[in-house]
């Protein structure tokens, strides 16, 4: 599957030279309506079909994923969105209304099924004529598509730039996203708007002003440590643009897809939680191991991501391949991440001052769910190769 995605992406990136453009700061769109902070008040959690299934997604895959979330503890841990990514689209009918392809016999019934499990339904489109995988996009059909999604019971739209660069100039990107935001608002149904344009035009500066609830900040994640770390570290310097209702999105999770080891997936999940990133599992939920499920659902780790204060954490110290990241939490404590990109286990020290705390503090290990005691001045822990230790410091 990963190879398929890779070869597809090579074609896709060739077709989208704009992805390589330098990011430019843009001014806020005058008069744009801010996004609705009552949706996505904390970073959205759920599942998305792309990272594992790519275009092999079907009604059966989506139902099996909904079944898994509802029964395996993920729903209780906060995962609620069941999101179909690219490749669901069929033809438009004589009136221009988008229809699903034959892998999705009845979208309304699928939405009803997802809702019957107490979950929410997500879908995918592009502002361009074609999606990234060359299915029908929403170009010139924005209102019609939003109405159709609402009729199907959709709660979340990922709107992926893709071929929009063929029909719009780069500086039209804000109005293009605003147009879909307004189309969604007109339906009267609260629908999360997930902007996917890979960080073009410094989207973090204006994404909220055009109605985005989250926006991708980078190109696609791949199931390897270097890609995962690249996407996470690309958030450095843009933390202040995230908050309740509007989040930086370093892309979906690869936890459980098999090409990183346990410690690397622990680092992946820890970083995403420190970053207040959307937590969209991207693995095959019907077939995952207990280890994968435990990484996705550790309640104390997920609570860092979902903390109501809604502050994106940041890197507070770096020495060679050793790093400390910190995220202030609503109860006055701080989540601290000690991570080791080196090739051997190493002791890493967090200075309490560096993470904004006083001279002494109590420390709890969130992965082990164990209190570690009181510390003065600093806290030190051994961290495995490519691993991470996530603690709550009070
Ligand atoms: C782009 C997006 C991915 C995925 C694919 C689908 O590459 O960044 O997340 O949605 O398109 O074609």
- The model's pTM: 0.92
- Give the relative orientation of helices 107-116 and 142-152 as an angle to the nearest 10 degrees: 50
Angle 63-66-68 from CA coordinates, rounded to 5°: 110
How far, in Å, is the centroid of ligand 1 from the Cα of 327? 29
CATH number, domain at 297? 3.20.20.70
Is the domain of 287 the same as that of 375?
Answer: no
Is the domain of 257 the same as that of 164?
Answer: yes
Using 50, 70 and 90 to split pLDDT, how confident is the model at 38?
confident
Rounded CA separation 240/243 (Å): 8
Residue 251 appears among annotated catalytic residues:
no
Residue 81 has pLDDT above 50, yes or no: yes
Is the domain of 223 the same as that of 201?
Answer: yes
Which one from 36, 86, 155, 220 is the annotated catalytic residue?
A: 220
Total domains in the fold of the chain: 2
Q: Which atom of ligand 1 is nearest to the CA of 12?
A: 7
Q: Residue whose CA is closest, atom 6 of ligand 1?
A: 86
Is the domain of 193 the same as that of 330?
Answer: no
Rounded CA separation 309/326 (Å): 14
Locate 345 and state its tokens.
């286990």
The range of the structural domain enclosing residue 102 comes to 3-305
> What digits encode the pLDDT tens for the residues 203-241?
999 999 999 999 999 999 999 999 999 999 999 999 999
Residue 24 has pLDDT above 50, yes or no: no
Residue 298 has pLDDT above 80, yes or no: yes
Mean pLDDT of 170-196: 98
Rounded CA separation 292/325 (Å): 23
Name all residues whose Cβ lies below 6 A of ligand 1. 12, 50, 85-86, 131-133, 160, 196, 220
Cα four-point dihedral sign 88, 91, 97, 103:
negative
To the nearest 10°, report the CA torsion of 317, 282, 291, 42: 60
Mean pLDDT of the chain: 92
* DSSP secondary structure string for all residues of 9-77: HHHHHHH-GGGGSPP---PPPTTPPPP-TTSSSS--EEEESHHHHGGG--HHHHHHHHHHHHHSSHHHH
Residue 160 appears among annotated catalytic residues:
yes
Which one from 36, 160, 251, 307 is the annotated catalytic residue?
A: 160
How far, in Å, is the centroid of ligand 1 from the Cα of 117? 27
Q: Residue whose CA is closest, atom 1 of ligand 1?
A: 132
Is the domain of 282 the same as that of 184?
Answer: yes
Residue 305 has pLDDT above 80, yes or no: yes
Pick 340 or 32 by higher pLDDT. Answer: 340
């Amino acid at each position: 599957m990963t190879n398929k995605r890779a070869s597809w992406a090579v074609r896709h990136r060739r077709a989208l030279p704009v992805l390589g453009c330098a990011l430019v700061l843009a001014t806020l769109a005058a008069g744009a309506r801010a996004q609705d902070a009552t949706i996505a008040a904390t970073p959205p959690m759920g599942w998305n079909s792309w990272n594992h299934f790519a275009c092999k997604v079907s009604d059966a895959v989506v139902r099996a994923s909904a079944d898994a979330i509802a029964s395996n503890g993920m729903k209780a841990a906060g995962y609620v969105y069941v999101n179909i990514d690219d490749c669901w689209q069929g033809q438009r009918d004589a009136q221009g209304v988008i229809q699903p392809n034959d892998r999705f016999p009845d979208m309304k019934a699928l939405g009803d099924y997802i809702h019957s499990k107490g979950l929410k339904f997500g879908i995918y489109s592009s502002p361009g004529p074609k999606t990234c995988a060359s299915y029908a996009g929403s170009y010139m059909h924005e209102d019609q598509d939003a109405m159709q999604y609402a009729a199907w019971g959709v709660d979340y739209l990922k709107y992926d730039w893709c071929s929009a660069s063929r029909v719009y100039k780069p500086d039209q990107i804000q109005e293009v996203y605003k147009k879909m935001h307004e189309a969604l608002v007109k339906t009267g149904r609260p629908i999360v708007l997930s902007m996917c344009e890979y960080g073009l035009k410094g989207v973090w500066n204006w994404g909220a002003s055009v109605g985005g609830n989250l926006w991708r900040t980078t190109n696609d994640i791949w199931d390897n440590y270097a890609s995962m770390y690249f996407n996470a570290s690309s958030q450095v310097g843009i933390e202040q643009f995230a908050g309740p209702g509007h989040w930086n999105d370093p892309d979906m999770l690869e936890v459980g897809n098999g090409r990183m080891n346990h410690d690397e997936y622990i680092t992946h999940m820890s970083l995403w939680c420190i970053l207040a990133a959307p937590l969209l599992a991207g693995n095959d939920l019907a077939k995952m191991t207990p280890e994968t499920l435990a990484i996705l659902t550790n309640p104390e780790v997920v609570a860092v991501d979902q903390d109501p204060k809604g502050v994106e954490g940041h890197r507070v110290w770096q020495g060679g391949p050793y790093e400390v990241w910190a995220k202030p939490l609503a109860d006055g404590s701080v989540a601290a991440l000690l991570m080791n990109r080196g090739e051997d286990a190493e002791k890493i020290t967090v200075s309490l001052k560096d993470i904004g705390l006083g001279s002494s503090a109590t420390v709890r290990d969130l992965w082990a769910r164990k209190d570690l005691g009181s510390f003065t001045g600093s806290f030190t822990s051994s961290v495995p190769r490519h691993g991470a230790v996530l603690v709550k410091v009070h």
